[in-house]
Structure 1
Amino acid sequence: MFPGKLQIPRRQTMTEIQRLLTETIESLNTREKRDNKPRFSISFIRKHPGLFIGMYVAFFATLAVMLQSETLSGSVWLLVVLFILLNGFFFFDVYPRYRYEDIDVLDFRVCYNGEWYNTRFVPAALVEAILNSPRVADVHKEQLQKMIVRKGELSFYDIFTLARAESTS
């Protein structure tokens, strides 16, 4: 401390609602193993067995035509390699990580993640934590209760708008 200097307290960078929402998103990422890492999975075969069989039927039909053709028979190895490589993508699932910063951002990540914040509902525990938190203003708690009455279930975007309102007040 320097004598004569006025100490101005730093403004808190994260509001209480934002902190609770971020914690909920992180626990959801952990619980659902959302870490952006590819994992081997046969879920594609389970979800789309007809498409999977159709791919192999089309592959063998193309292979038969190529083997019968004099001009294409030399590049059969290329077809097999491409088929194996492209088919390999169907055996991996990537669960994208949800992030608070991605909410209400329209960029390339929306193509990858989708608008998860509009389609996923927040757990009731988050709503209870906000309503029971002494660090959340009564105005925002009332606004949250009105949203619950009006919509029933709330999405992550709904809580995000509440956090944005809290940060501006």
Structure 2
Amino acid sequence: MIAECIGCGCTDMCACVSEDGPCYWLRVDYSRGEGVCSCCSERVAEWDAEIGRKSIDDQFIELMDALDGYDSPEAISQRLAELQGPIRELAAACRQTVLFNRAQVEFQSTKTDIELRPMEGGSLFAVWYLLMDRIARSPTKFHMRSSVRILLPLVADFLPEDPNA
């Protein structure tokens, strides 16, 4: 199904074009065939209120706040395990994005690499560190947001089933 922006009516096949280039989805639900494009950011609050959930960006900010003050690999891994409910929920939202679906080759390659190589601090810390590194090295806000959407599901994949593990 092709989604249409609730603001301007653009679609996957016919994007808006501004001085910054073509638009991209800020929110999209292909099952409903609707979304909010980057040229209609003023409609995001309306979208979020209608579906009753926070944006990926807002959820990630809350996650970062919940990790504030945890410095060592062990402490970070333990805290991530304690926060697995919100992390899994956020990862599920990330997995629904077009960006995540288009990055499957990178996602699978990175997952395999982490599974095959023992890393200092363990796999969960390694993937969290990778996400933080990608965000820190991002040249633009778009790249930062993309890093979260592509790599946070990988963090969820490496969470232990038992938060006390």
| Fold agreement, TM-score > 0.5 | no
Q: Which structure has the bigger radius of gyration? A: 1
> Counting helix residues as a fraction of each chain, which structure ranks higher?
1
> Counting strand residues as a fraction of each chain, which structure ranks higher?
2
Relative contact order (alpha carbons < 8 A, sep ≥ 6): 1 or 2 greater? 1
TM-score (norm 2): 0.28
